[in-house]
Structure 1
């Protein structure tokens, strides 16, 4: 009897998802079924689905596609995405010269193009690349100078020598530091502390950006790529860019062409943060000179305990581990609060960061400043550290 009831409930569930809101005689969906119903309704039944090709609805479409990849099996995702191309009419828009002349690429639009890149017809792909390039150039123009200026300042400060040789003394800085010892009668300053810049550092600072490429992190992937390209161009920084879902991809060699790099990113899918962190650990040559920035919502689909052990091992070896829950302008992020608290307990406070603040954050990281204090001083919420069980 219970088997028959289960089969009956399954049939009801399927009919409810198939018919959508028209199935008013059937029980309303709950839990994950409710999410599935809303996703299907948006594409196949609602007016928004049919008109989704206009510029205003594109940000919603990007999130919708990310949710589709999360909740549906891969075989269904392919069918749904192809339907989305037709119903959202993106392919037609990309071939419309009037649209291309007027449209202004933004992060949400590019995120959507990245989601759909495998289903964009060949004749529309070049226009898609033009839009991605438009955004890349805009972001580089906005962030390249602030990023380079902030990092050069941090590198110079980090290389200061408080025991300089005669030829290495920075006299202007030394005078300012010792003004309190000025003797007006003798018109002499007795320096208690010498400041110099010494020789250039022989070792580059190693920076690893480890970026979650699940659908919800699409905007973070875009901004991370831009900042990675800027840092990779600086001789004093040895930069690695690693993206991950359940697989790990090292994109360092592609940083010279951010447009092609973004087209190569595969947004969506599951998440195995531990696998990515272990790969990053294998890249580390000098822990005391390495700054690893993990950008993730910390929802671990792999082994959570091993992830914490990997992070603890890194911090214990001297790696400066910084955890960003998002690198975007989307407001408060969704994230795993328990995992964030556990990371904070390891000495890596977890918080979100806007792109405008990221150059300042990286400068503070290179100087190994306290990240909890950095965030708190700027009014950024920081997850409290978990207490030992």
Structure 2
């Protein structure tokens, strides 16, 4: 195809020009029809050329075409537009439709919010979709999280017989540079350098309490927080609890072995009573000097804001390491209550948002009780300033 033909093809696809469609291949015409169905002006629907219609099979075919022609990130954008422009959210109740959707965190949040009205046949499909997303996220985040927060490593002591996960690779490579194999362009280590692991009793473990706002605006943050809680609960070096709340409080700690079950235990939507949730968490903290309370909320308080600030102040005085995450999302850009956030920041509590990729390192910094303000500043993460 000449450069001019390719240019005409692209313009025809972009503008949906009917006069040029005879020059398109069958695949291009299907791509054009799929996009016109969503982004057309409505006239095409009347002519029978486009439209997503109201049946699950038709929408499923449309989604299949979209997935064939575009990469997953583009598919997710188009799906989101379809939900908003064409009112397709109700189609998530159809298993035929659900099985064709490109799954991501936002879709998981939608499914969790709709599960109460799902027919039983759809609920099993939804569980399978959620399980797939959770498995992908666990694969992406689990190793980094485990490596970052492995608090049972005594990094002040070294050993020449470390476990694989405890090898200090920079020092190992440096110690074995004389064994560099030019032919293979690699170092063959004769001596491993690693961290000595020491046993810790349950009473010595750091406590981590993830207190997560499950109001509708925090949907993606809830999904990520639940997965991180499940990862940390699998590590024998910290004692992890997961508490979710709106105006009620739900303790999901006992379900952390099954992240999908945790997500099905979440009630997205409703009001917000942060003070009540923090009061519950306060009662669950056993050793304040070893406790880390991570409040994940946009700080739009429907309860008693003054009581909340007083309660957080008391926890910090008791020695609890309190951190407020305004969002735990891929964008890391929160929408939040600036007044209440500033009041909490005035207590010396770090208040900011972070991405899932930043969370493991943030959690490791918290467990070491290092300066969280400095950690955030080093990564150009905007910290909420106090109102004083």
TM-score normalised per structure 1? 0.67
1:14 maps to what in 2? none
1:111 maps to what in 2? 109
Gaps of 5+ in 1: 1-45, 65-83, 162-172, 177-195
2:153 maps to what in 1? 156
Provide the C-alpha distance between the structure 1 equivalents of 2:284 and 2:387, rounded to a whole number of angstroms. Answer: 29
Q: Among 90, 93, 97, which residue is 2:92 paired with?
A: 90
CA-to-partner distance for each residue in 1:249-298, whole Å, 9 max, x for gaps? 00000111111211121000000000000100001111110011000001
* Cα 1:200–1:123 shift into 2, 3 Å: closer
Corresponding residue SS for 2:106: helix
Provide the C-alpha distance between the structure 1 equivalents of 2:146 and 2:375, rounded to a whole number of angstroms. Answer: 20
1:340 maps to what in 2? 341
Q: Kindly indicate whether the alpha-carbon contact (under 8 Å) linking 1:323 and 1:351 is maintained by their aligned counterparts in 2.
A: yes
Q: CA RMSD in A?
A: 3.0
Provide the C-alpha distance between the structure 2 equivalents of 1:49 and 1:334, rounded to a whole number of angstroms. Answer: 32
Provide the C-alpha distance between the structure 2 equivalents of 1:315 and 1:62, rounded to a whole number of angstroms. Answer: 43
* Cα 1:136–1:198 shift into 2, 3 Å: closer
Q: Any residues of structure 2 matched to 1:1-389 within 5 Å, and which? A: 56=77, 59=80, 88-92=90-94, 94-96=95-97, 100=99, 102-152=100-150, 154-156=151-153, 160=156, 200-202=199-201, 203-387=204-388
Q: Kindly indicate whether the alpha-carbon contact (under 8 Å) linking 1:62 and 1:111 is maintained by their aligned counterparts in 2.
A: no
Q: Kindly indicate whether the alpha-carbon contact (under 8 Å) linking 2:332 and 2:354 is maintained by their aligned counterparts in 1.
A: no
Corresponding residue SS for 1:342: helix
Provide the C-alpha distance between the structure 1 equivalents of 2:332 and 2:52, rounded to a whole number of angstroms. Answer: 25
2:68 maps to what in 1? none
Corresponding residue SS for 1:207: strand
Cα shift at 1:339: 1.2
Cα shift at 1:160: 4.2
Provide the C-alpha distance between the structure 1 equivalents of 2:81 and 2:309, rounded to a whole number of angstroms. Answer: 34
* Cα 1:120–1:56 shift into 2, 3 Å: farther
Corresponding residue SS for 1:249: strand
Provide the C-alpha distance between the structure 2 equivalents of 1:307 and 1:62, rounded to a whole number of angstroms. Answer: 37
Provide the C-alpha distance between the structure 2 equivalents of 1:298 and 1:49, rounded to a whole number of angstroms. Answer: 39
Provide the C-alpha distance between the structure 2 equivalents of 1:138 and 1:386, rounded to a whole number of angstroms. Answer: 41
Corresponding residue SS for 1:270: coil
How many aligned positions are there? 286
Cα shift at 1:372: 1.0
Q: Kindly indicate whether the alpha-carbon contact (under 8 Å) linking 1:63 and 1:215 is maintained by their aligned counterparts in 2.
A: no
1:8 maps to what in 2? none
* Cα 1:366–1:265 shift into 2, 3 Å: same
TM-score normalised per structure 2? 0.68
